[in-house]
């Protein structure tokens, strides 16, 4: 399993909108985009079934890292929409507003990981400690 898929599963694990479901014969997790709440489907192995992307709430370009509280899952359209704001200066009030709202939503959704996903959360926490601020894989 790639680092990216483990990270996706660690986000699923800590986001209470994600519930176990089935996609045909496949076991999946279905949750909501952090922005528009449209459904996102993630396979049990972390592969996105519907278009799902990792959203860095505080932008990577301004030093946002892979700490789980800074990550959420978003549909591709919303992620690209947010990226346009990420190019604003670090101290831009509109960027601060967007980030504050996303942090609020993320903490509202926060949950303790289900047992089957707990190892991915442990991995994601260790990965951040080991890699510093940047992860070229995401
Ligand atoms: Zn969306």
Q: What are phi and psi of 65, to 5 degrees?
A: -110, -170
135 part of a folded domain = no
What's the chain look like in SS3? CCHHHHHHHHHHHCECCCEEEEECCEEEEEEECCCCCCEEEEECCCCECCCCEEEECCCHHHCCCCCHHHEEEECHHHHHHHHHHHCCCCCCHHHHHHHHHHHHHHHHHECCCCHHHHHHHHHHHHHHHHHCCCCCCC
Distance (Å) from CA 38 to ligand 1 centroid:
6
Model confidence band, residue 133 (pLDDT cutoffs 50, 70, 90): very low
Model confidence band, residue 138 (pLDDT cutoffs 50, 70, 90): very low
Distance (Å) from CA 103 to ligand 1 centroid:
16
Residues measured by CB to lie within 5 Å of ligand 1, the ion:
33, 35-36, 38, 75, 78
In the chain, pLDDT over 70 holds for what percent of residues? 94
136 part of a folded domain = no
- Give residue 20's domain range: 3-120
127 part of a folded domain = no
133 part of a folded domain = no
17 part of a folded domain = yes
Average pLDDT over residues 45-56: 94
- Please give the mean pLDDT across all residues of the chain: 93
Distance (Å) from CA 133 to ligand 1 centroid:
26
70 part of a folded domain = yes
Model confidence band, residue 130 (pLDDT cutoffs 50, 70, 90): confident
111 part of a folded domain = yes
Domain total of the chain = 1
129 part of a folded domain = no
Q: How many CB atoms lie within 10 A of CB 11?
A: 28
pLDDT at 129: 87
pLDDT at 1: 86
Residue whose structure tokens are 């985009």: 33
Q: Is pLDDT larger for residue 133 or for residue 22?
A: 22
């Amino acid at each position: 399993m790639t680092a990216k898929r483990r990270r996706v599963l660690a986000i699923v694990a800590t986001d209470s909108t994600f519930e176990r479901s089935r996609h045909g014969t496949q076991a999946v997790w279905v949750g909501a985009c952090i922005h528009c709440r449209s459904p996102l489907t993630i396979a049990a192995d972390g592969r996105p079934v519907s278009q799902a992307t990792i959203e860095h709430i505080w932008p990577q370009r301004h030093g946002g890292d892979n700490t789980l509280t800074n990550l959420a899952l978003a549909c591709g359209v919303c992620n690209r929409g947010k990226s346009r704001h990420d190019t604003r200066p670090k101290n831009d009030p509109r960027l601060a507003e967007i980030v504050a709202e996303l942090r609020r939503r993320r903490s509202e959704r926060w949950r303790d990981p289900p047992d089957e996903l707990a190892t991915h959360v442990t991995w994601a926490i260790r990965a951040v400690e080991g890699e510093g601020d940047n992860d070229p894989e995401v």
